[in-house]
Amino acid sequence: MSFDLKKLIRDNIRDLTPYSSARDEFSGEAKVFLDANENSLGSPLVKWYNRYPDPHQKDLKKAISKVKGITPEHIFLGNGSDECIDLLYRCFCEPRKDNVIICPPTYGMYEVSGNINDVEVRKAPLLERDFQLHIKQIEHLIDEQTKLIWICSPNNPTGNTMYRGDIETILNNFSGLVVIDEAYINFSRHKSFIQELPDYPNLVVMQTFSKAWGLAALRLGVLFGSAAIVQVLDKVKPPYNINQATQELAQQALDETGQVNDMIRELVSMRDALVKVLDTIPLVKKVYPSDANFLLVKIKDAKKVYDYLLSKGIVVRDRSNVRLCDDCLRITIGTEQEITLLVKALRDYSKK
């Protein structure tokens, strides 16, 4: 199926003249900046934070490019992945006209952001037997006004990776954008889709610094797509959406990939060990396979267990009210001490 990005872009976005910041209106190096109405005397916190950050995050994108093997023009940075999600709606979906498809249970912001942008959200629930994509249902929901299909892989809250062949089937047969959210890909043994970008002009891949990189407080989401898609997003984003501290700290983290990989291995090891322990606890009905840094656990009287854990100062995520996740708790892999406290509490509850 042919893909034409120009047909996807909203008319007002296509015709938009983007905001031109002070830093956009010159090229080359400069020593004296008297263009952006900044406080030239500095800040009581850090002297150089009185200046606006690079609106294009050039140095950070170069650092990401080296790690990911993707050239900078294919990289867009958002104030968290949530900004990337919102911008995809705002650029490609006409309110009260277009629609998108999500595959619940999945990350909730796809639907919330769709509702905020007044875009119809159609649902193709995952297959109950293995939480995989329901290809026939997705195909049934697609029409001429379907602009985006959201696929979370590894999926939140189920933890599983979607079959690659199913995703490729959608990419090959859908004329809109296919957005694969790979927030948890570093914990998976499966390959990222970012290397497939040259083959699929309608492919968008999202990753994040919040999970494996351990920088959730910085709010840094990364979107990979064609240069044309990135250019559209750049037109619409706020001029200085990634602050200076985030850019600096993320670059420092990218210099420590060895340490990050060690942490990933440790978390995966603890995840696998926790599965074995949970299987020995009587109230645990099932631990679902996970390619993420969390486990979805079907548990007897999940809501009561959740409240009990809360009374012990332990917070997990109650997913019992989510489709296909009846009586399920989502448990993040914490530190060894935190997991020890969790297991003790579950065993104590089992004895009641």
> Judging by beta carbons within 10 Å of its beta carbon (0-12, 13-18, 19+), is residue 38 exposed, middle or buried?
middle
DSSP label at residue 194: G
Please tell me the distance from the alpha carbon of residue 142 to that of residue 2, in angstroms, as a whole number: 15
Final residue of a structural domain among 221, 255, 289: 255
Q: Which residue blocks in 162-292 are alpha helix, DSSP H? A: 164-173, 227-236, 244-254, 257-278
- 324 Ramachandran zone, left/alpha/beta (phi>0; psi -120 to 50): left
Please tell me the distance from the alpha carbon of residue 81 to that of residue 194, in angstroms, as a whole number: 16
Residue reference for tokens 């914990």: 187
* Residues 183, 291 within the same domain: no
3-state secondary structure of 128: coil
For the cut 70, the answer to whether the pLDDT of residue 342 exceeds it is yes
* Residues 222, 149 within the same domain: yes
Q: Which residues pair with 284 in a beta bridge?
A: 299
pLDDT band at 341 (very low <50, low <70, confident <90, very high): very high
Domain of 329? 258-350
For the chain, helix, strand, coil in percent to 5 are 40, 15, 45
Mean pLDDT of the chain: 95
Please tell me the distance from the alpha carbon of residue 286 to that of residue 270, in angstroms, as a whole number: 18
Residue 290's pLDDT is: 98
Please tell me the distance from the alpha carbon of residue 235 to that of residue 208, in angstroms, as a whole number: 21
3-state secondary structure of 286: strand
* Residues 130, 84 within the same domain: yes
- With beta carbons less than 8 A apart as the criterion, state whether 149 and 101 touch: yes
Is the residue at 77 inside a domain? yes
Final residue of a structural domain among 255, 279, 295: 255
Residue 20 — φ and ψ, nearest 5°?
Answer: -105, 110
Please tell me the distance from the alpha carbon of residue 144 to that of residue 1, in angstroms, as a whole number: 13
* Residues 331, 222 within the same domain: no
CATH of the domain at 314: 3.90.1150.10
Please write the tens of the pLDDT for every residue from 61-80.
999 999 999 999 999 999 99
Residue reference for tokens 């290809």: 135
Q: Which residue blocks in 50-134 are alpha helix, DSSP H? A: 58-68, 81-92, 109-116
Residue 280's pLDDT is: 96
* Residues 163, 74 within the same domain: yes
Q: Are strands 146-152 and 177-181 parallel, antiparallel or unpaired?
A: parallel
Is the residue at 191 inside a domain? yes
Lowest mean pLDDT among 15-19, 167-171, 267-271: 15-19
For helices 109-116 and 81-92, angle between their N-to-C axes, nearest 10 degrees? 40
CATH of the domain at 177: 3.40.640.10
In one-letter notation, the amino acid at residue 195 is Q
Please tell me the distance from the alpha carbon of residue 317 to that of residue 296, in angstroms, as a whole number: 9
pTM (global) more than 0.85: yes
Residue 1's pLDDT is: 67
Total structural domains in the chain?
A: 2
